[in-house]
Amino acid sequence: MGNNLFDKPKIIEGRAWLIYKDHIDTRKIFPNKYLSKNDFNELGKYTFKGFKNYENLAQQSVPGDILITGKKFGCGAFHQQAIDCFISMGIQAILAESFCETYQKEAINIGYPVLTYENLDNINLERWDRIRVNFVKGLITNLRNNRSTQINSFSEKQMKIYLKQADI
C-alpha cells in the first residue's frame, strides 16, 4: 500500500482465521480487565484472553490475517478496544454472519473492513487457508481450492468511509 489514503486495497488476501461461534461478545473479544491498557500497539495481545480455546490466537495470528466468525459478533457493551485490538494485531478485516449493530456501525465509521455473509460452506474453508476478499464485488475465494462464493459487498457509504472520502 502506498502513502496515499486513497491507495487502500479493494481486494485483500490473507489467512483465514476461523472462529465459527455465535454471540461473541466484546468481553470475550477484549476482556474488561484490560480496558485500562492504552498502548494501541499492545492491544492485540489481549484479544480473546479468557475466551476458552481461543486464548492463544493472538499469538498465532500474523499481520494480514482475516477473521471469519458466526452470528452477532461484537454483542454486549461496546468498547472501542474490541475493534482496535484487531487493528493492532494487523487483522485486515472481519467477516461474520452478522454483527451487533453498534459494533458494525463503529467499525465502519473508523473505516475498518467488516462484511457479512450468508453461507461459506461451498468453499470448504479450513483454518489458515489463504483467501481473497473483494470488497466491491462481495466475493470470497478460497485460494487453496479456487472456490468462490458471494458475500455482502461494501455499501457505497462504507466504501467512501473506508477510502476516507466520506462527507460525514
Query: What pLDDT digit, counting tens, does each position of 120-142 carry?
Result: 999 999 999 999 999 999 999 99
CATH number at residue 146: 3.20.19.10
Q: Is residue 167 part of a domain?
A: no
Tell me the residue range of the domain where 25 lies: 9-162
- pTM of the predicted protein model: 0.93
User: Are the C-beta atoms of 16 and 60 separated by less than 8 Å?
Assistant: no
Q: How many domains does the chain have?
A: 1
Q: Given strand 130-134, what is the order of strands in its sheet?
A: 114-116, 93-96, 66-69, 11-19, 130-134, 139-142, 147-150
| Dist CA 149 CA 156 (whole Å) | 21
Mean of all residue pLDDT scores within the chain: 93
